[in-house]
Structure 1
Amino acid sequence: MQRRILKCIQSQGQSEFYQPMYLFFSLTKIPTNYLTHLLGHESAGSLLSELKRRQLATALVTESFRPGSGFASILLYIELTDQGLEKVDEIITLIFQYINMLKAEGYQQWVLEEERDSRALIFRFKSKEELFEYVCKLSSRMFRYAPEDILTSGYLISEFRQDLVEEIISYITPENFRYYVISKKVADSCDCIEKYYRTPYGCESIPPEKIEAWKNCGLNEALHLPPRNPYMPTDFSLKCKLNPDQEDSALGPRVIQETPGSLLWFKQDSNFKLPKSFICFNLIRYKLSPFKCLREREKRK
């Protein structure tokens, strides 16, 4: 139970919620995905949505970290507003209220089913990676995965384990976490200097009364599970009618809609044949162009 304070170079504040756990599980089951998916959700009723409503944060990222066998961590990175930097305790209260909601709702298998389908979709249609980096990534996995799982690790979920998910959630308690506050504005609380990088920092024990308050923070009606995703694709048949050998497949983009203020161009893919779309918006406004600015400047002379 620690509170650590670091002075950073960036002016924007950040809070990190760090939850260590000691457990063993197969990497093809990935039970930590259940928590990271829900804690990092951005829909109505999510933790981030409530933080934004209260103007305490602008972004939230979650991840699981497993540096070795038998040890794993759940991490939350929260980009704070100035108001959020002054209300870190309130933010931690919201985190534990969200955890309490997950415990009260119980295990929801559809969450992992959506995660499984989403990851399988990414793996099935993933783009080619840079060769050297890809080889390095695969070689590092050889120490942690079975040979048949090296290529699919991090993507394919082969088994759902309710017991592992519930065990992981049970570890997340006010008595078993630490958090970091990183900002220029906490420099006065930094009474130590890091040995190698000379970074000012401070380390404090969390007062027992705060631990007790977080243990009894209860539920928050604003926090609830996200709705199921009705847009999870199941049909990947392509609508492309062009033949790469035909002359019309080599034609460039064509205008499919024109208005007084916009042009919409479209080019049907006939080479890669993947269920992916690339959308590019090019906004052009004469009054904001460098040419317009120069002309206005000349007029004022």
Structure 2
Amino acid sequence: MPVYKKKGYLHQHFRIFHLRDVSMKEIPFHYHDFHKIIIFIDGEGQYIIEGKTYPLKPRDILFVSAGEIHKPVTYHGKLYERIVIYVSQDFLTHWQQEQWEDNTNLSDCFRLARETSSVMHMPKGTEHDLLFHMKKIQQVDKDEGFANQLYTEILFIEFMILLNRALQSNQLDKLHEATYDPKIQQIIEYINTHLVDDLSINLLSDTIFMSKYHLMRRFKAETGYSVHQYINSKRLLLAKELLSTTSHPITDICFQCGFRDYSAFSREFKKQFKVSAREYRNN
């Protein structure tokens, strides 16, 4: 497989890379349209996910769902070593759509993390199986033996099964301390549960009893995005999901995602994903 460039784009089912930095350039807040798993190996650092700041320690595992705004915080001269895994939503959806008797859903780990903690800890013993399989995937990925690509994919599916089992059987420590602004978290939760509704800044400021100017300033400081940018990105990701999982007309999807103007939706979709909504559905 070709070497993956760290630019935040994913053109395969999944990509894995082992990174070790001591002086890393600051990475701004951003989000992806794929899921990301980070296994923190060694060093010092923090990670901000959707306005919550998590201090990191070795054997922590981070779950960043598609669309979640995040960024790492590193320290000059301090080691920051981790394994980063990008995994396509479509790849996980494919396995979800198979008619398994036990309703297998490999993306359950991201749902469970959103409901509990985005950063969990692997106790000694637990990390052995997960890291062993991850190293095996990386080794096989470099080989050129018979059906190597298929073998790599099978090993990765096995890793995702083990990871989901670890969460569902409470093998990972979910009690991970995080610092955050309660008011901003309240707004983030409100936005994500009311994407199709009116989300004017006046309504949001009234919801948490804060002046709109104070809200906009604090939201930007905590997430790196303006309120409008945050809402827009979440609505576009919802539209992308509906385009690939439903047969609803594109105009209907536009309004189902909270957009009030189809031309504005079409323009923003193409700007964000580099293809039109129709081209994305056709492809």
In which range does the TM-score fall when normalised by the shorter chain?
A: under 0.3
TM-score norm. by structure 1 comes to 0.23
Greater helix share, 1 or 2?
2
Greater strand share, 1 or 2?
1
TM-score norm. by structure 2 comes to 0.24
Higher relative CO (Cα under 8 Å, sequence separation at least 6) belongs to 1
